[in-house]
């Protein structure tokens, strides 16, 4: 009898972890159910869909991407769709319920009066995108670490995520560097940590100076990652969300192997080859993806690349009085084409998707690659920026048409992020 009981006890001990894992997955899928249709894991697209969709928008100077492969009637490309006005749709937080919104993104605090821009929800063509569910998200990431690697727009997404998660658990602000560029937030009940690792270009850079004064012109070493973020990667790193682009749209000089190979935005430079911004972004993203892929201490990391977040300056630029005063989304391609930067930004998106697809073919060492392809959705949202409402005392002549109001359309990025995480945890459990 004693031997029988011991065998039963050992069998129970071996099966208990499997039971817990199965229960966790089933709980997540139950919590994270869209409206009006039940959640179906088949509605989450696979990697092939992420890398070959053209959204039926192609700038005149660009060739069409390769056609998307079909996967049956249940396929859903979360990134191909439109914004639908819904008078019952409202943010999951406000600037009162979230205490971590920075002043520069707190558009209502800074005087914005219209609220209709909060009542548009993203509608993929063949399915519904579920609303963000803080409990489901925290259940997935419990005991894990997530890093947002990029510029201030990467931080903008993290700030949105903090507000969404704080409705379930208020995080602790555990680290801030002297320049408020590197931050760490901790959720003690779920043992979950979020890092912000700030970088202008993802790769090593040096700003050129004239008589000791900065010029805003940089030397970029496309084959060397910026150690300011690379040296701070946590161990292990479960999720890395990489994004960068805004700093490339200016005059910069490009280096590989320590030698100058050319420049961007440098017309009429003597004996210097000119490249477009996409060339530099491709090199920087490739180096960043490779670095995390090769990072042994990072462990089995899900690496997500967020595509370019469009700006919507009209009648000028940041420094020349450009504005973004629209209060409704664009309805489609024709309106988008009226924004001067849309063609170049879409070309950058194609570059980013190509690099991500190339990285995904490696598929070893436990690393996985996914896309947060937000470009098309955000090209349609000129109404979501702070504009003149980015500080209490508006600085005359300067409008922020790059970042996004909180709450605002950027919250949709984290709806998509949760959908990708659910897909990932399901696929990993099936291996």
403 is known as an active-site residue:
yes
What is d(CA 199, CA 184) in angstroms, rounded to the nearest whole number?
15
- Selecting among 77, 309, 403, 415, the annotated active-site residue is 403
Q: In the annotation, is 223 catalytic?
A: no
Known catalytic membership, residue 400: yes
Find the helix or strand (DSSP H, E) in which 139 lies: helix 134-141
Q: At what angle do helices 411-429 and 152-165 cross, to 10 degrees?
A: 80
Could you say which of 152, 287, 311, 342 is catalytic?
152
Find the largest Cα–Cα distance for the chain: 90
CA distances to 139, 168, 321, 393, 395 from 99, in Å = 23, 13, 31, 21, 24
What are phi and psi for residue 288, nearest 5 degrees? -70, -45
The catalytic position among 75, 244, 400, 415 is 400
Token output for 280: 């530099």
Q: How far is CA 158 from CA 184, 275, 285, 406, in A?
A: 11, 32, 19, 11
What string of DSSP letters covers 261-304? EEEES-TT-TT--EE-HHHHHHHHHHHHHHHHHH-TTT-S-EEE
Rg (CA), the chain: 22
Q: Per 3-state DSSP, what percentage of the chain is helix, strand, and coil (rounded to 5)?
A: 35, 20, 50
Distance of alpha carbon 419 from alpha carbon 130, whole angstroms: 8
Token match 């670095």: residue?
Answer: 291
Q: For residue 97, what are the contacts with CB-CB under 8 A and spacing of at least 6?
A: 163, 166, 167
- The partner residues of 204 in beta bridges, in order of sequence, read 221
Residue 394, class by beta-carbon neighbours within 10 Å (0-12 exposed, 13-18 middle, 19+ buried)?
Answer: middle
Q: What counts of helices (H) and strands (E) characterise the chain?
A: 10, 14
| Phi and psi angles of residue 85, each rounded to the nearest 5 degrees, phi first | -75, 130
Active site amino acids: 152, 400, 403
């Amino acid at each position: 009898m004693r031997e029988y009981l011991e065998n039963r006890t050992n069998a129970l001990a071996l099966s208990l972890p499997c039971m817990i894992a199965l229960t966790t997955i089933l709980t997540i899928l139950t919590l994270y159910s869209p409206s009006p249709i039940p959640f179906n894991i088949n509605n989450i697209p696979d990697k092939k869909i992420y890398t070959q969709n053209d959204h039926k928008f192609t700038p005149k100077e660009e060739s069409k991407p390769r056609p998307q492969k079909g996967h049956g009637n249940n396929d859903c490309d979360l990134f191909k769709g439109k914004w639908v006005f819904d008078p019952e749709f409202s943010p999951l937080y406000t600037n009162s319920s979230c205490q971590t919104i920075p002043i520069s993104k707190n558009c209502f605090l800074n005087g914005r009066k219209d609220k209709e821009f909060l009542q548009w929800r993203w509608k993929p063509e063949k399915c519904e995108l579920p609303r963000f569910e803080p409990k489901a998200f925290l259940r997935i990431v419990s005991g894990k670490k997530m890093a947002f690697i990029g510029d201030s727009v990467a931080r903008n997404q993290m700030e949105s995520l903090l507000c969404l998660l704080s409705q379930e658990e208020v995080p602790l602000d555990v680290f801030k560097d002297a320049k408020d560029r590197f931050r760490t937030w901790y959720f003690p009940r779920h043992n979950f940590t979020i890092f912000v690792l700030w970088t202008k270009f993802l790769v090593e850079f040096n700003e050129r100076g004239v008589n000791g004064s900065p010029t805003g012109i940089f030397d970029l070493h496309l084959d060397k990652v910026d150690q300011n973020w690379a040296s701070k990667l946590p161990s292990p790193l479960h999720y890395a969300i990489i994004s960068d682009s805004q700093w490339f749209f200016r005059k910069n000089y490009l280096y590989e192997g320590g030698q100058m190979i050319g420049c961007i935005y440098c017309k009429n430079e003597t004996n210097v080859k000119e490249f477009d911004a996409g060339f530099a972004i491709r090199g920087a993203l490739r180096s960043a993806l490779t670095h995390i892929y090769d990072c042994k201490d990072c462990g089995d990391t899900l690496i997500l690349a967020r595509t370019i977040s469009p700006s919507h300056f009209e009648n000028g630029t940041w420094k020349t009085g450009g504005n973004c005063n629209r209060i409704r989304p664009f309805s489609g391609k024709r309106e988008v084409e009226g924004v001067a930067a849309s063609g170049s930004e879409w070309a950058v998106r194609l570059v980013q998707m190509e690099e991500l697809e190339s990285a995904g073919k490696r598929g070893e060492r436990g690393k996985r690659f996914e896309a947060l392809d937000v470009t098309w959705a955000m090209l349609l949202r000129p109404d979501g920026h702070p504009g003149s409402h980015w500080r209490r005392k508006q600085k005359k002549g300067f409008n922020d048409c790059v970042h996004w109001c909180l709450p605002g359309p950027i919250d949709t990025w984290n709806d998509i992020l949760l959908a990708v995480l659910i897909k990932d945890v399901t696929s990993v459990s099936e291996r």
